[in-house]
Amino acid sequence: MAINNGKGAIGLDKEDTLYQHGTLALLVPGLLTGTLTIGELLEHGDYGIGTLQGLDGELTLVDGVGYLAQSDGNVVTVDPKETVPFANAHFQRATDKLEHTQITKAALEKEIMQNHDYENIFFAMKIHGVFSSVRTRVVAGNRQPPFKPLAIVAQNQELFSAENVTGTLVGYYSPELFQGVASAGFHVHFVSDDHQFGGHILDYALTQGTVELQRFENLDLHLPVHDSTYRKHRFDYDDMSAVIRSAEGNE
Amino acid sequence: MAINNGKGAIGLDKEDTLYQHGTLALLVPGLLTGTLTIGELLEHGDYGIGTLQGLDGELTLVDGVGYLAQSDGNVVTVDPKETVPFANAHFQRATDKLEHTQITKAALEKEIMQNHDYENIFFAMKIHGVFSSVRTRVVAGNRQPPFKPLAIVAQNQELFSAENVTGTLVGYYSPELFQGVASAGFHVHFVSDDHQFGGHILDYALTQGTVELQRFENLDLHLPVHDSTYRKHRFDYDDMSAVIRSAEGNE
């Protein structure tokens, strides 16, 4: 790590920081106004995940470009002027890199948690490779208000699947303490190399690929403090974890 | 706000960021090893609060100097080489400034929350003035291991009070969503101008003083990822909120 590089916390490189705009909690009651542009998000990383205003689609940042998996099954490149209510980004520089063959999502995630003391820290997971199967969901939100609560929008999700698909998986592991701030556990998105398939991953089986992990020292959490709807909202946290697990969970 | 000033998040001034090292949650099971020096903490702000390794005393940063209220009633200046398991700091630049007379802790906090849409954002509170009464507690931790869980250390706290005391109150409001990451609600410390009295505030009545609030856009959360005890710990979050409220609460 370098001493103050002018790009992040003192004594840390920019690659040591996970940037987050918004909280998962604000999606729950439907505070879905976009409060950060894709352009601004990309200033905080070249890889990441998120959703657009109104929970419209599943966003994946790959090598500095935002790809949006839409509920009609199309994947489009996102205009930097589009906005997000919630997103993560980081500058990719793996701290662990492994070649993997023939492994399922469940087995890989179990192996990662068994082989590393990563339960209480944030880390990114990036996989590029060939997947024998990938199952995704794409929420069918609406770009313009009025917005609906997460549980309602999630009911309208579309399911997609692909076999023998080559592409990039991008996402994060967040510690349990941060449930509600983020989605605790693994939260990963996918976009195929041909940009024909993507979304929020429900399940996958990796045939062969490079699994990169990147642990972070810092979470740089940016809240939409200029959005009066966010500021004035009275959150009800009682059932939040259940709603999040249901809407963001793997199944 | 300035465009990238090289000191914090892009587009934000350093005064827009609240820095936090560690989580309140790690204090609960007694992960009290100091994992950041006071010197490092002061690079992230000139005002702040925290505790030393082993929950040894109540730390208050005022104008770039760390003051430690000890359980023997003394307040000492802290060596920059001392370490903290958990602390907050910010660069002071008030976004609201008000003169107040004759107001209690409860009334002032109620007034602040009624007059501002600050429930879902982080903000600092700094008061300098004359207090007709200040009641504090100082935890009686131990600087060297083995360390005890927060609930046990908190049972050994010492209580102090002062009347007609002039000094500085420093602390933070954290949204309810961040209970466990921080102490939700107000968490404030005090040090008198003559450095004879201080601690974690239980209650106060302000005679006359300047109340400064400073809202933050960013939480810069630094986790002790290099501490293997932290990384390996299996947290039990079931009773955590109750323990935190009991140990960190106002009464």
pLDDT tens-digit map of A65-115: 999 999 999 999 999 999 999 999 999 999 999 999 999 999 999 999 999
Q: Any CB–CB contact under 8 A between A23 and chain B?
A: yes
Q: Does the structure show a pLDDT above 50 at A202?
A: yes
- Model confidence at A5, pLDDT cuts 50, 70, 90, reads very low
Long-range contacts of A39-42 (CB under 8 A, 24+ apart): A39/A80, A39/A81, A40/B10, A40/B11, A41/A66, A41/A84, A41/A87, A41/A89, A42/A66, A42/A80, A42/A89
User: Which residue from A228, A197, A216 is spatially nearest to A88, judged by alpha carbons?
Assistant: A216
Q: How far is B170 from A234, CA to CA, in rounded Å?
A: 26
Q: How far is B16 from A179, CA to CA, in rounded Å?
A: 24
Nearest CA in chain B to A8: B8
Contacts A218 to B, Cβ<8 Å:
220-223
Q: What does the pLDDT look like over B135-180, one tens digit per residue?
A: 999 999 999 999 999 999 988 899 999 999 999 999 999 999 999 9
* Residue A140 in tokens: 């069918």
β-sheet bridge partners, residue A132:
none
Contact call for A44 and B117, based on CB within 8 A: no
Contacts A232 to B, Cβ<8 Å:
117
Q: How far is B216 from B12, CA to CA, in rounded Å?
A: 10
* pLDDT mean over B12-26: 97
How many Cβ pairs within 8 Å bridge chains A and B?
A: 100
Q: What does the pLDDT look like over A14-41, one tens digit per residue?
A: 999 999 999 999 999 999 999 999 999 9
Mutate to test the interface with A, among B86, B113, B116, B120 (most CBs of A within 10 A): B120
* pLDDT mean over A178-190: 96
Contacts A118 to B, Cβ<8 Å:
231
* pLDDT mean over B16-31: 97
- What is residue B3's predicted lDDT score, i.e. its pLDDT? 41
Q: Are B191 and B69 in contact (CB under 8 A)?
A: yes
Q: Are A120 and B230 in contact (CB under 8 A)?
A: yes
* Residue A123 in tokens: 């880390």
For strands A218-222 and A17-21, give the pairing.
Answer: parallel
Contact call for B10 and A119, based on CB within 8 A: no
Nearest CA in chain A to B12: A222
- What is residue B251's predicted lDDT score, i.e. its pLDDT? 40
Contact call for B43 and A10, based on CB within 8 A: yes
Q: Does the structure show a pLDDT above 80 at A7?
A: no
* Residue A113 in tokens: 């948690």
Q: What does the pLDDT look like over B103-138, one tens digit per residue?
A: 999 999 999 999 999 999 999 999 999 999 999 999
Mean pLDDT score across all residues of chain B: 93
- What is residue B241's predicted lDDT score, i.e. its pLDDT? 79
- What is residue A187's predicted lDDT score, i.e. its pLDDT? 97
- Which one of A119, A178, A223 has the shortest CB-CB distance to B217? A223
β-sheet bridge partners, residue B140:
B56
Q: Does the structure show a pLDDT above 50 at A250?
A: no
Contact call for B215 and A225, based on CB within 8 A: yes
- Which one of A6, A180, A221 has the shortest CB-CB distance to B221? A221
What does the DSSP assignment read for chain B?
--S--SSSSTT--GGGEEEEES-HHHHTTT-----EEHHHHHTT-SEEEEE-GGGBSEEEEETTEEEEE-TTS-EEEPPTT-EESEEEEE----SEEEEEEEEEHHHHHHHHHHHS--TTS-EEEEEEEEEEEEEEEE-B--SSSSP--HHHHHHT-EEEEEEEEEEEEEEEEE-GGGBTTB-SEEEEEEEETTSS-EEEEEEEEEEEEEEEEEE-SEEEEE--TT-HHHHH-----TTHHHHHHHHHS--
* Residue B45 in tokens: 């702000």
- Which one of B6, B119, B223 has the shortest CB-CB distance to A121? B223
Q: What does the pLDDT look like over B206-226, one tens digit per residue?
A: 999 999 999 999 999 999 999
Q: Any CB–CB contact under 8 A between B114 and chain A?
A: no
Could you identify the residue written with the tokens 């205003």? A53
Q: Any CB–CB contact under 8 A between A113 and chain B?
A: no
* pLDDT mean over A140-169: 94
Could you identify the residue written with the tokens 């070249």? A46
Query: C-alpha angle with apex A185: A217 to A113, nearest 5 degrees?
Result: 75
Q: What does the pLDDT look like over B48-63, one tens digit per residue?
A: 999 999 999 999 999 9
Q: How far is B4 from A7, CA to CA, in rounded Å?
A: 9
- What is residue A4's predicted lDDT score, i.e. its pLDDT? 41
- Which one of B44, B177, B220 has the shortest CB-CB distance to A235? B177
* pLDDT mean over B81-94: 98
- Which one of B23, B177, B222 has the shortest CB-CB distance to A217? B222
Long-range contacts of A244-247 (CB under 8 A, 24+ apart): A244/A24, A244/A25, A244/A28, A244/A150, A244/A179, A244/A180, A244/A183, A244/A184, A246/A151, A246/A154, A247/A28, A247/A150, A247/A151, A247/A154
Shortest Cα–Cα distance, A208 to chain B (Å): 30
Q: Any CB–CB contact under 8 A between B178 and chain A?
A: yes
- What is residue B2's predicted lDDT score, i.e. its pLDDT? 38
Q: How far is A234 from A241, CA to CA, in rounded Å?
A: 16
Which is higher by pLDDT, A17 or B4? A17
Q: Any CB–CB contact under 8 A between A233 and chain B?
A: yes
Contacts A217 to B, Cβ<8 Å:
222-223, 225
- Model confidence at A206, pLDDT cuts 50, 70, 90, reads very high
- Model confidence at B249, pLDDT cuts 50, 70, 90, reads low
Q: How far is B130 from A197, CA to CA, in rounded Å?
A: 65
Contacts A44 to B, Cβ<8 Å:
9-10
Q: Any CB–CB contact under 8 A between B233 and chain A?
A: yes
Class of domain A14-248 as given by CATH? alpha beta
Shortest Cα–Cα distance, B224 to chain A (Å): 7
- What is residue B8's predicted lDDT score, i.e. its pLDDT? 42
Contacts A229 to B, Cβ<8 Å:
none
Separation in Å, CA A60 to CA A1, A76, A143:
27, 11, 17
What ipTM score was computed for the predicted complex, to two decimals?
0.94
- Model confidence at A154, pLDDT cuts 50, 70, 90, reads confident
Contacts B11 to A, Cβ<8 Å:
40, 43
- What is residue B47's predicted lDDT score, i.e. its pLDDT? 98
Contact call for A231 and B117, based on CB within 8 A: yes
- Model confidence at A6, pLDDT cuts 50, 70, 90, reads very low
The number of beta carbons lying within 10 Å of the beta carbon of residue A6 is: 12
- Model confidence at B11, pLDDT cuts 50, 70, 90, reads confident
Q: Where are the domains of chain A?
A: 14-248
Listed by number, the residues of chain A in 47-76 with a beta carbon closer than 8 Å to a beta carbon of chain B are none
For residue A11, is it left (φ>0), alpha (ψ between -120 and 50) or beta?
Answer: left
Length of chain B: 251
Mean pLDDT score across all residues of chain A: 93
- Model confidence at B246, pLDDT cuts 50, 70, 90, reads confident
For chain B, give the percent of residues with pLDDT over 70.
95
- Model confidence at B84, pLDDT cuts 50, 70, 90, reads very high
What does the DSSP assignment read for B93-158?
--SEEEEEEEEEHHHHHHHHHHHS--TTS-EEEEEEEEEEEEEEEE-B--SSSSP--HHHHHHT-E
